[in-house]
Amino acid sequence: MVLFSIGWGLGQTSWTQPAGEPLTVSLIQGNIDQNIKWQPEAVRATLDLYLRLTLASKSRLIVLPETALPVFNVDVPHDYFDILTRHARDIGGDILLGVPEYVGGSTPRFYNSVMSYGSSPTQLYRKYHLVPFGDYFPRWFFITWVMNTLDIPMADFSRGEPLQNPLAVAGQRVAVNICYEDVFGEEIIRQLPEATLLANFTNDAWWGDSIASAQHLQMSQMRSQETGRYMLRATNTGVTAIIDDHGRIQEQAPEFVSISIQGTAQGYSGSTPFIFWGNWAFLVIAAGMIAISLVKLPRSHDT
């Protein structure tokens, strides 16, 4: 009862304050089937789809999902990014899109990245919390030998830095998180309180027509509540949504359709208790409850 009362009471307080004017946003859902997403013959159609949906949007911030472009950034047709940049500048805004990043050198590296194009200088975020057997393979002898033998591109992403700055785009500072990074609240707050918006880029097509996408949406809603920030979710197959600073869904796209949803997002500044304490408050409470349960109380004896 005490814990529920405290939670309800904290939820009635506005911990953050609006920062700047409301921002028009477009979230693009390509709905590219996972079975063809990485097929070479499907690349051109995928690029054309995202280009068409992007050019049709007039919002100041346009967001495309994780690995929306299924080729390395260096292999994207040269004029593709130029077209996106010109469009964003024409409308006085910016585009954020997911694309695998190739960094050459004596030891080439690959990153699961989000890049910005438009009125602001080009910036990027590299995924830090990688998915085992999805983004990378653990360095176990047998698996390492198999992967080295197969030599599959983009099967072993490098890890981004744990501390990365929010992306300064469209007059806001956006804390980017990719895929299931939004599950880990204490990692999200690394970019706070500097960030005014949160943005999740994901591809939940792996889970098919299951409840997993809806569960992932709920996790994003929790991050909004914890931080007092809007969350913009751009996904491949769903659930694409605009979530307000209280975790309420403002706009939501139907799953498994190619669509662009439009809406507004308000940037926020300030710190919530979770931004300040992280998980420590909950760990202290849990430790206290355990300690209380271990205390041996004196027994009363009937005389």
Q: Is the pTM of the predicted complex or chain greater than 0.75?
A: yes
Q: Average model confidence (pLDDT) for the chain?
A: 89
Q: Regarding the domain with residue range 19-284, which homologous superfamily does it belong to in the CATH classification?
A: Carbon-nitrogen hydrolase (3.60.110.10)
pLDDT at 1: 86
Q: How confident is the model at residue 131 (pLDDT cuts 50, 70, 90)?
A: confident
Q: How far apart are the first and last CA of the chain?
A: 36
Please pick, among 37, 41, 58, 66, the residue that the annotation labels catalytic: 66
With a pLDDT cut of 70, the percent of the chain lying above it is 90
Residue 288: CA atoms inside 13 Å, Cβ hemisphere, count? 7
Residues 6+ apart with CB under 8 A from 301: none
28-78 per-position pLDDT tens digit = 999 999 888 888 999 999 999 999 999 999 999 999 999 999 999 999 998
58 is catalytic: no
More confident position, 296 or 143: 296
* pLDDT tens, position by position, 207-265: 888 999 999 999 999 999 999 999 999 999 989 999 999 999 999 999 999 999 999 99
66 is catalytic: yes
**294, pLDDT greater than 90:** no
At residue 163's C-alpha, the angle toward residues 28 and 186, to 5°, is 80
Q: 171-194: per-residue pLDDT in tens? A: 999 999 999 999 999 999 999 999
Per-residue model confidence as pLDDT tens digits over 136-152: 766 655 566 665 665 55
Can you give the pLDDT at residue 151?
53
**E strand intervals along 186-286:** 197-202, 231-235, 241-243, 249-252, 259-265, 268-269
Kindly state the average pLDDT of the residues 86-107: 93
CB count in 10 Å sphere of residue 63:
31
Please count the residues of the chain. 303
Provide the edge-to-edge strand list for the sheet that holds 231-235.
167-169, 172-178, 197-202, 231-235, 241-243, 249-252
User: Domains of the chain: which residue ranges?
Assistant: 19-284
Of the two residues 19 and 303, the one the predictor is more confident about is 19
pLDDT greater than 60 at residue 164? yes
The pLDDT score that the predictor gives to residue 8 is 82
Which sign does the torsion angle of CA 255, 73, 50, 198 carry? positive
Distance, in Å, from the CA atom of 122 to the CA atom of 117, rounded to the nearest integer, reads 5
Residue 297's pLDDT is 66
Q: Could you tell me which of 271, 263, 270, 272 has the C-alpha nearest to residue 22?
A: 263
Q: How confident is the model at residue 135 (pLDDT cuts 50, 70, 90)?
A: confident
Percent of all residues in the chain with a pLDDT value above 90, rounded to a whole number: 67
Give me the catalytic one of 101, 161, 179, 186: 179
Mean pLDDT of 266-288: 91
The residue annotated as part of the active site, out of 21, 41, 101, 127, is 127
